A and B are shown apart, each in its own frame.
Chain A
């Protein structure tokens, strides 16, 4: 279904931030903002829910730690006990200090990589995907705010011009 949206372009992140606050103060629903770089505090200004990626990161870290413990226990203790530097690997606990760097690395590795993958999936980004941003300039030096239209075109356009937009246009959007 196609819906009508109004798009306002800005060329400064500070102006954009003030515009977002103002538009929200007028009780319009901002559907999306496209920016060339992450704008600090924009999520709060848009009233987006807090990210839950930190929780997934913690869980992935726990997973990595567990993998490291199980892996080292299998490799060094159960499968093929080794004698390194006079420290025979017959007991996991007694050899634990040697495994700490591995535990640390795998914790970080799992947390970081799985968090990035999760982020991409959650943002619906994958290879060969067609870009969603409506205007190429948002990958260069422009910021684009998109607001859904409900027969209030003129009123919204006026408001957006007032907030310092450099361009305002109304388009149909496939969704």
Chain B
């Protein structure tokens, strides 16, 4: 049985506390009137002298700002200043949402990976099942938090999802056309169904997994196999719809048909990375003695492969839009090229070039600390990926990775660590009666 080390617990509490304070500061310092917003931007410009000045002047120019506003598809009549106010008010909300979604999606990605292992009856991975189950435990609080944020958005506490604003829809024919699907009530019902299904599978599969330890036949194992296969079908559909709803709809005029896969690749690689990191951590503390370097090697191979897969999808989405050059589609990338150069291209370097070069060598994938270091970079890259999906639509050129963003990462990171490692203490780290445990134990590459 694993016992939660006091140091780690304390660390997670400190992260949560600090993150909470940062987030509160972020919310407090958001402007409440147009005048405040204008003053903030003026100060912001002054504060960024030197290299930033040129960029700031460019992106804050009157024409540029207008172009960006159109790019976001918010063609409502409100003036520039009001738009600026909404962007600045959105910033702490978006920071909160991006971080909440990021850590939630890690748990969801792990759940998909776990279900695939179960459905494929993989022989190498059963030693890691308890680690995966520990991580997916975060699905419950993480999912509820994301749902609450979506609920507050639907209650007009923020302006992240412009289509939730009846005022905007009234002046927008495209949104009126989509209102049958994109309306707050149906949106929340869908979210509840997605989350309900995922959480149900997670809890039920965990129950069967624990019951298998105590049983004297394989009936629980077989049941788990069937539920996992069924879950994967449900997941495939709902994950795609979730990504349209929760992410793509912040740009309600824009759409991409492979967006669901793209988000899936991001969550899958982040999830696998976290499995590898938690496993290496537990091993370094003397748990999971049976897990050998070949298991880590396999996880690192997945990190490598899914990073390439992510790039493939990212590029497929980008190239078609770039090639066709249809105004309503390219705005998505124009906004990112203009105002998000660093996070946008930085993300490509972190998520593609870095894992490609670093994880290519077979021997490096067996070095545990190396996998951890790579994992940190990959996770940061995929945080930026989510950041790039949400921020351009909600805060436009007013983005910055400052207190609310770091606060969001710290708060949810702390909560994630606390919840996951608490869940890990609840059951023995090695499944006892999994029929494939012997194969997993002898797994070698």
Residues of A within 8 A of B (CB): 41, 54, 58, 85-87, 97-98, 100-101
Q: Name 20 A/B residue pairs within 8 A (Cβ), A-sorted.
A: A41-B444, A54-B361, A54-B362, A58-B360, A85-B323, A85-B324, A85-B325, A86-B325, A87-B323, A87-B325, A97-B315, A97-B318, A97-B319, A97-B322, A97-B323, A98-B319, A98-B323, A100-B315, A100-B319, A101-B319
- State the main secondary structure of chain A at its contact with B: helix
Per the bound structure, the CA–CA distance linking A153 and B322 in Å amounts to 73
Per the bound structure, the CA–CA distance linking A25 and B360 in Å amounts to 34
In B286-326, which residues have CB < 8 Å from any A CB? 315, 318-319, 322-325
Give the 6 A-B CB pairs with smallest separation, nearest first.
A97-B319, A97-B322, A85-B323, A100-B315, A86-B325, A98-B323
Q: Distance in Å from the Cβ of B136 to the closest Cβ of chain A?
A: 32
> How many cross-chain pairs have Cβ atoms below 8 Å apart between A and B?
20
Per the bound structure, the CA–CA distance linking A100 and B323 in Å amounts to 12
Per the bound structure, the CA–CA distance linking A129 and B322 in Å amounts to 52
Per the bound structure, the CA–CA distance linking A100 and B362 in Å amounts to 26
Q: Which chain A residues border B361 with CB–CB below 8 Å?
A: 54
- State the main secondary structure of chain B at its contact with A: helix
Per the bound structure, the CA–CA distance linking A109 and B362 in Å amounts to 21
Q: Which chain B residues border A87 with CB–CB below 8 Å?
A: 323, 325
Q: Which chain B residues border A100 with CB–CB below 8 Å?
A: 315, 319
Closest to B444 in A: A41
Closest to A98 in B: B323
Q: Which chain B residues border A97 with CB–CB below 8 Å?
A: 315, 318-319, 322-323
Q: Distance in Å from the Cβ of A50 to the closest Cβ of chain B?
A: 9
Q: Distance in Å from the Cβ of B320 to the closest Cβ of chain A?
A: 10
Closest to A86 in B: B325
Q: Which chain A residues border B360 with CB–CB below 8 Å?
A: 58
Per the bound structure, the CA–CA distance linking A94 and B360 in Å amounts to 29
Q: Distance in Å from the Cβ of A105 to the closest Cβ of chain B?
A: 13
Q: Which chain A residues border B325 with CB–CB below 8 Å?
A: 85-87
Per the bound structure, the CA–CA distance linking A58 and B357 in Å amounts to 10
Q: Which chain A residues border B322 with CB–CB below 8 Å?
A: 97
Q: Which chain B residues border A98 with CB–CB below 8 Å?
A: 319, 323
Q: Which chain A residues border B324 with CB–CB below 8 Å?
A: 85
Per the bound structure, the CA–CA distance linking A100 and B314 in Å amounts to 13
Per the bound structure, the CA–CA distance linking A87 and B330 in Å amounts to 14
Per the bound structure, the CA–CA distance linking A41 and B323 in Å amounts to 47
Closest to B362 in A: A54
Q: Which chain A residues border B323 with CB–CB below 8 Å?
A: 85, 87, 97-98
Per the bound structure, the CA–CA distance linking A144 and B319 in Å amounts to 53
Per the bound structure, the CA–CA distance linking A27 and B360 in Å amounts to 35
Q: Give 1 or 0 for each of B316-353: 1 = CB within 8 Å of chain A CB.
A: 00110011110000000000000000000000000000
Closest to B320 in A: A97
Per the bound structure, the CA–CA distance linking A101 and B362 in Å amounts to 26
Q: Which chain A residues border B444 with CB–CB below 8 Å?
A: 41
Per the bound structure, the CA–CA distance linking A54 and B318 in Å amounts to 31
Per the bound structure, the CA–CA distance linking A85 and B315 in Å amounts to 19
Q: Distance in Å from the Cβ of B312 to the closest Cβ of chain A?
A: 9
Q: Which chain A residues border B318 with CB–CB below 8 Å?
A: 97
In B112-129, which residues have CB < 8 Å from any A CB? none
Closest to B322 in A: A97
In B386-445, which residues have CB < 8 Å from any A CB? 444
Q: Distance in Å from the Cβ of A42 to the closest Cβ of chain B?
A: 13
Per the bound structure, the CA–CA distance linking A54 and B360 in Å amounts to 10
Q: Which chain A residues border B315 with CB–CB below 8 Å?
A: 97, 100
Q: Distance in Å from the Cβ of A32 to the closest Cβ of chain B?
A: 24
Per the bound structure, the CA–CA distance linking A175 and B319 in Å amounts to 57
Closest to B321 in A: A97
Per the bound structure, the CA–CA distance linking A41 and B361 in Å amounts to 19
Per the bound structure, the CA–CA distance linking A54 and B322 in Å amounts to 35
Q: Which chain B residues border A54 with CB–CB below 8 Å?
A: 361-362
Per the bound structure, the CA–CA distance linking A85 and B318 in Å amounts to 16
Per the bound structure, the CA–CA distance linking A125 and B325 in Å amounts to 51
Q: Distance in Å from the Cβ of B402 to the closest Cβ of chain A?
A: 32
Q: Give 1 or 0 for each of B7-26: 1 = CB within 8 Å of chain A CB.
A: 00000000000000000000
Q: Which chain B residues border A85 with CB–CB below 8 Å?
A: 323-325
Q: Distance in Å from the Cβ of B333 to the closest Cβ of chain A?
A: 11
Per the bound structure, the CA–CA distance linking A58 and B360 in Å amounts to 9
Closest to A101 in B: B319
Q: Give 1 or 0 for each of B352-388: 1 = CB within 8 Å of chain A CB.
A: 0000000011100000000000000000000000000
Per the bound structure, the CA–CA distance linking A85 and B444 in Å amounts to 52
Q: Distance in Å from the Cβ of B319 to the closest Cβ of chain A?
A: 5
Q: Which chain A residues border B362 with CB–CB below 8 Å?
A: 54
Q: Distance in Å from the Cβ of A93 to the closest Cβ of chain B?
A: 13
Per the bound structure, the CA–CA distance linking A87 and B325 in Å amounts to 9
Q: Which chain B residues border A41 with CB–CB below 8 Å?
A: 444
Per the bound structure, the CA–CA distance linking A67 and B31 in Å amounts to 55
Q: Distance in Å from the Cβ of A9 to the closest Cβ of chain B?
A: 27
Given contacts A100-B315, A101-B319, 17 further A-B contacts (CB under 8 A): A41-B444, A54-B361, A54-B362, A58-B360, A85-B323, A85-B324, A85-B325, A86-B325, A87-B323, A87-B325, A97-B318, A97-B319, A97-B322, A97-B323, A98-B319, A98-B323, A100-B319
Q: Give 1 or 0 for each of B22-51: 1 = CB within 8 Å of chain A CB.
A: 000000000000000000000000000000
Q: Distance in Å from the Cβ of B443 to the closest Cβ of chain A?
A: 12
